[in-house]
Structures are given as C-alpha cells and as structure tokens.
C-alpha cells in the first residue's frame, strides 16, 4: 500500500466513527479485528443495550443528505465525491482497519469535513445502526467476489443486505453498483430486480460516480480498466411505495 503521512488517532478522530464498544465488526466465521469482543459477548451486550441509529445531523453538524459507500477500500471514490459535492455528507464503511485509516488520512489531510469512516461489517452496521429512510444513496463498488464456494457467504450483497438498503433509502434515493465480475453482477441485479421497492435507471449508470481525470472512479475500477476488463454498472431508484411485485404479481401503488 502506498505510504501516506501518518496521523495520530486524535488527529484522525473527526474522520473516524467508532462502533459502540462490544459490537462485533465482523460476522462469525471471519477473524475478529482489534478491540472487538467475541460475538457471544457482543450479542449479550446488544440485547441489553439495543443499538441507537446514527444521528447524521449530530455526526456531520448539518442536515445535508447522507450517502454511504460500502467497502470503500482506500477511499478514492469518497475523496472525489466529497471534494466535488461539498453539500453532501459521505459515510464510508470498510471492514479492514488499515484501509479505513488510510482513507481517513486522505480525508484528514484535505480537511474534508463532509466525509466520515467506520471500520465494520457494512451488513451489520447498516442493519443495526442506520435509521429507516435516512440516506440518499448507497454505493457498492467492486465488492469482494469471494470466489471459493465455502467463502461465498462472506459476500456483502445478499437479499438481506438489499432489503436493508431499501429500508434506509429515502424515496427517490439511489443504489449504485459496479463490478468487473460478471457473475456477481448478475447475482446483484437479479436480487434488486426482484424487489418491488426499486426501479432501474439505466440512463444514470454511466455518469453515476464522479471520475478522476484519468477516467476511473475507484481504485479497483482503475485496475479492471488497466487489465482491459469490462466494468458492469447499475443504478436503482428507491420508489416511494412498492410498485407491482414482479415475483408475487401483487399490486401496489406507485
Ligand atoms: C475489492 S475491494 C474494492 C474497494 C473499492 N470499493 C474500490 O472499488 O476500489 C472490496 C473492499 O470491500 C471491503 N469489504 C469486504 N467485505 C466488507 C464488509 N462486509 N463490510 C465492509 N467492507 C467490506 C474489503 O476490505 C475491500 O476493501
């Protein structure tokens, strides 16, 4: 990983949101990261103290719309997004502490106060700490494909995750996905297309994420394009109420 200036935890504090103590950062089956209780300790504590949703207004000190990136890696997308859209707040969730701190350092060096980071399993954080209808967009770019059969359960994009995204998005909010893995793209789009809460906005897909001058939005996109790979993208809009379910055939209002 390219070296960045090293900042202290105190210097990084405005860019780092810490999970309440004893919350597992990872689902069981994955190694538990530093400062984390065991899953059973954490479950007991959560039962005693149900998680409180993040108060976005208090966290950012304003009422601007909030967008979440799941698995921000080194934070290139958030860096460009936060610099080009100062009236939007961005919250990046990354399961690996060293990437979270790398990204936070980039934001701190530029003193970008409209972006914060968390080190957590995005599935758990979104499920437990994000209030319904409180987020304007969720970005999922190049999620880990976890190729091996026994690892596939680690994939972040599941029907449960997509249902949580539908819950936290405001009406008109966007879910944006990109990957260079055709199979995973097929799985993600099949999940979302089966959900009556979403409608696809293909016209937005190409211009959804701000690009660097070199033409890529994220670090993994840069790598995929350099290899001559294809990047698959989709943008979905959260409908105000469910329209007709394509699965059940039930009718609903739009
Ligand atoms: C392939 S990288 C893509 C990084 C970045 N989005 C990009 O396009 O350059 C996937 C990232 O997601 C993170 N990640 C994987 N599972 C996660 C989870 N459950 N919650 C949060 N982050 C996760 C990984 O640590 C990694 O940094």
Answer yes or no: are the C-beta atoms of 175 and 192 closer than 8 Å. yes
The segments of the chain whose pLDDT lies below 70 read 1-4, 22-49, 207-210, 242-254
The CB of 103 under 6 Å from ligand 1? The reply is no
What per-residue confidence (pLDDT) applies to 26? 63
- The CA 162 to ligand 1 mean position distance, Å, reads 16
Residue numbers annotated as active site: 144
Show Cβ contacts of residue 144 under 8 Å, excluding neighbours closer than 6 positions.
Answer: 71, 154, 155, 156
Q: How far is it, in rounded angstroms, from Cα 187 to Cα 87?
A: 33
Q: How far is it, in rounded angstroms, from Cα 67 to Cα 222?
A: 22
Q: Residue 166's closest CA among 206, 201, 128, 126?
A: 126
Cα angle value 26/223/5 (rounded, 5°): 65
Question: Does any domain span residue 153?
Answer: yes
Question: Does any domain span residue 248?
Answer: no
Question: Does any domain span residue 134?
Answer: yes
Question: Does any domain span residue 200?
Answer: yes
Q: What is the largest CA-CA distance in the chain?
A: 56
Residue nearest to atom 23 of ligand 1 (CA): 71
The CB of 102 under 6 Å from ligand 1? The reply is no
Question: Does any domain span residue 183?
Answer: yes
Quote the number of domains for the chain: 1
- The CA 212 to ligand 1 mean position distance, Å, reads 20
Question: Does any domain span residue 252?
Answer: no
pTM of the model: 0.87
Question: Does any domain span residue 196?
Answer: yes
Residues of the domain holding 48: 9-238
What per-residue confidence (pLDDT) applies to 173? 97
Per-residue DSSP letters for 144-184?
A: ----SGGGGGG-S--HHHHHHHHHHEEEEEEEEEEES-HHH
CATH code at position 18:
3.40.50.150
> Ligand 1 test: best mutation among 28, 127, 144, most atoms within 8 Å of CB?
144
What per-residue confidence (pLDDT) applies to 48? 60
The CB of 141 under 6 Å from ligand 1? The reply is yes
Q: How far is it, in rounded angstroms, from Cα 215 to Cα 212?
A: 5
What per-residue confidence (pLDDT) applies to 200? 96
Cα angle value 71/75/81 (rounded, 5°): 105
Question: Does any domain span residue 172?
Answer: yes
- The CA 139 to ligand 1 mean position distance, Å, reads 11
């Amino acid at each position: 990983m390219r070296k960045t200036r090293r900042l202290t935890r105190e210097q990084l504090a405005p860019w780092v949101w810490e999970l309440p103590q004893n919350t597992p950062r990872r689902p069981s089956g994955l190694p538990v990261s530093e400062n984390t209780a065991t899953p059973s300790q954490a479950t007991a504590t959560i039962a005693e103290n149900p998680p409180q949703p993040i108060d976005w207004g208090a966290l950012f000190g304003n009422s601007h719309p909030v967008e979440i990136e799941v698995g921000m890696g080194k934070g290139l997308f958030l860096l460009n997004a936060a610099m080009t859209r100062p009236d939007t707040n961005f919250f990046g969730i990354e399961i690996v502490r060293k990437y979270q701190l790398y990204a936070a350092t980039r934001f701190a060096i530029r003193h970008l106060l409209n972006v914060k980071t968390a080190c957590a399993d995005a599935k758990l954080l979104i499920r437990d700490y994000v209030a319904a209808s409180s987020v304007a967009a969720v970005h999922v770019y190049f999620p880990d494909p976890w190729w091996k059969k026994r690892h596939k359960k680690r994939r972040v994009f599941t029907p449960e995750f997509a249902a949580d995204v539908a819950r936290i998005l405001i009406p008109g909010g966007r879910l944006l996905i990109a990957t260079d893995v055709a199979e995973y793209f097929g799985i993600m789009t099949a999940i979302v297309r089966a959900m009556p809460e979403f409608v696809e906005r293909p016209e937005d897909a190409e211009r959804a994420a701000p690009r660097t001058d070199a033409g890529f939005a994220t670090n993994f996109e840069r790598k995929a394009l350099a290899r001559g790979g294809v990047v698959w993208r989709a943008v979905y809009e959260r409908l105000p109420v469910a329209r007709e379910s394509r699965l059940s055939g039930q009718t609903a209002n739009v």
